[in-house]
Amino acid sequence: MLNWGIIGCGHIAHTFADGLACLPEGQLVACASNSRERAQQWVNDYQSRHPTRANVSAIYSDYESLLKDNNVNAIYVANTHNFHFESVKLCLEYKKHVLCEKPITLNSKQAAELYDLAKANNCFLMEAVWTRFLPAIRMLQKVLSDNIIGDIQSVNVDFSIGRMKDESHRLRNKALAGGALLDLGIYPITFAYIVFGQSPKHIQSSVSFDTTGVDMASFYLFKYEDGQHASLSSSYNQCGPMKAVVAGTQGYIEVPFFLGAKGFTVHKDGEDLQNFSYPFEDHENFSFEIQHMHDCVKQSLTESPILPAQESIAVLQTMDALRAQWGLKYDGE
pLDDT of residue 114: 98
pLDDT tens digits for range 137-149? 999 999 999 999 9
Identity of the residue numbered 61: S
- Structural domain boundaries in the chain: 3-130, 135-279
pLDDT of residue 310: 98
Average pLDDT score over residue span 252-256: 98
**pLDDT of 265 above 90:** yes
pLDDT of residue 53: 84
pTM, 2 dp: 0.96
Average pLDDT score over residue span 71-93: 97
Average pLDDT score over residue span 166-195: 95
**pLDDT of 54 above 80:** no
Q: What is the mean pLDDT of the chain?
A: 96
**Exposed, middle or buried: residue 311 (CB in 10 Å: 0-12, 13-18, 19+)?**
buried
Cis bond upstream, residue 24 (ω within 30): no
Strand (E) or helix (H) holding 76: strand 74-77
pLDDT of residue 162: 85
pLDDT of residue 166: 87
185 DSSP assignment: I
| CB burial readout 69-103, b (16+ within 10 A) else e | beebbbbbbbbbbbbbbebbbbbbebebbbbbbbb
Rounded Cα distance, 102 and 80, in Å: 10
pLDDT tens digits for range 103-119? 999 999 999 999 999 99
Rounded Cα distance, 43 and 61, in Å: 13
Q: Which fold is adopted by the domain 3-130?
A: Rossmann fold (3.40.50)
Give percent of the chain above pLDDT 90.
92
pLDDT tens digits for range 269-286? 889 999 999 999 999 999
pLDDT of residue 165: 81
First to last CA, the chain: 36
Identity of the residue numbered 144: L
147 DSSP assignment: T
pLDDT of residue 26: 94
pLDDT of residue 167: 87
pLDDT tens digits for range 285-313? 999 999 999 999 999 999 999 999 999 99
Tell me which residue of 80, 110, 78, 77 sits closest to 96, measured CA to CA: 77
Q: Which fold is adopted by the domain 135-279?
A: Dihydrodipicolinate Reductase; domain 2 (3.30.360)
Give the residues across from 276 on adjacent strands.
Answer: 264
Rounded Cα distance, 285 and 188, in Å: 18
Average pLDDT score over residue span 8-29: 95
Pairing label, strands 152-160, 229-235: parallel
